[in-house]
Amino acid sequence: MGETLRTAFPTPAKVSAVDYYARTLAERSRRLDVGSLNGVCARHRAATLTNFVCSCDVQTQAVQMLKAYDRAALPQHIFEGGGLFLSGPPGTGKDHLAVAMLKRAYSLRFDCQWLDCQSFYSEVAGLWRGDVNVDDWLRKLNRPDVLCLSDPIVRGMTESQRATLARVVNDRWLVRRSTWVTCNARDLKWAEDQFSDRTLSRLLDGAVRIYCDWEDYRKQATPAPVAGQEGT
């Protein structure tokens, strides 16, 4: 299977947990905001790092890597605009892990937005038809402290879709807003090749990269029913 956890979190500066947590609270208080968590679908709403089922060592390693970002290190990562780039085959729990981290950020009073990219590109189509005000839409996506894009690479992407994705990523990068991505990909290089060099550079700037190279849980064998209980 080879090496799968290609890049760990950037090493955080040596500052106390109290300093960074205080900074988080002060930032939220200035905005009179207690944080928000928007857009997470029902399927992933209960996701945590604790209930992510690990059946191999690399899964355990990935979860432990994410757990290492506690109440001190995660705020630092977000304040610095650090990203999260989870790629791998479908069914490996990338969205579960991303939502679990979003919920951690939300518990620290950050504004978090989950955006399924089928919905994202539907809105992009509305932009190009003139149904949606471009400036208002971009401001909406630039507002959250953390924006997580679920699978932004789609089959047959148009140039307008690529350009709009690049604009969103660039606008957030310029003001140090964290943009996290989950990406269905057969290998890490393929995933990275789907983005323009400029967009990829901004997504990976200070980001965590984990390639989830383990079995699709949807394809795992389902135990046969016990005799006499087939209809239960």
Per-residue confidence in pLDDT tens, the chain, 232 aa:
444 444 444 444 545 555 655 565 565 555 444 456 777 878 888 899 999 999 899 999 999 999 988 777 898 899 999 999 998 888 899 999 999 999 999 888 899 999 888 887 777 777 777 777 888 888 888 999 999 999 888 777 778 888 888 999 999 999 999 999 998 887 767 777 778 888 889 999 999 989 888 888 777 655 444 444 444 3
Q: Under a CB-based contact definition with an 8 Å cutoff, are residues 112 and 36 in contact?
A: yes
Q: Are strands 84-88 and 178-184 parallel, antiparallel or unpaired?
A: parallel
Q: Under a CB-based contact definition with an 8 Å cutoff, are residues 120 and 152 in contact?
A: yes
pLDDT at 7: 45
Domain map (residue ranges) of the chain: 31-214
Tens digits of per-residue pLDDT, 40-57?
Answer: 878 888 899 999 999 899
Beta bridge partners of 139: none
pLDDT at 124: 76
Q: How many other β-carbons are positioned within 10 Å of the β-carbon of residue 189?
A: 10
DSSP letter assigned to residue 146: E
pLDDT at 34: 46
pLDDT at 61: 92
Q: Which residue has the tokens 């979003």?
A: 102
pLDDT at 177: 94
Rg of the chain over Cα atoms, rounded to whole angstroms, equals 19
pLDDT at 2: 43
Taking alpha carbons only, the member of 141, 132, 166 closest to residue 152 is: 166
162 exposure class (CB count in 10 Å sphere: 0-12, 13-18, 19+): middle
pLDDT at 63: 93
For domain 31-214, which architecture applies? 3-Layer(aba) Sandwich (3.40)
pLDDT at 220: 67
Taking alpha carbons only, the member of 93, 105, 135 closest to residue 37 is: 105
pLDDT at 93: 92
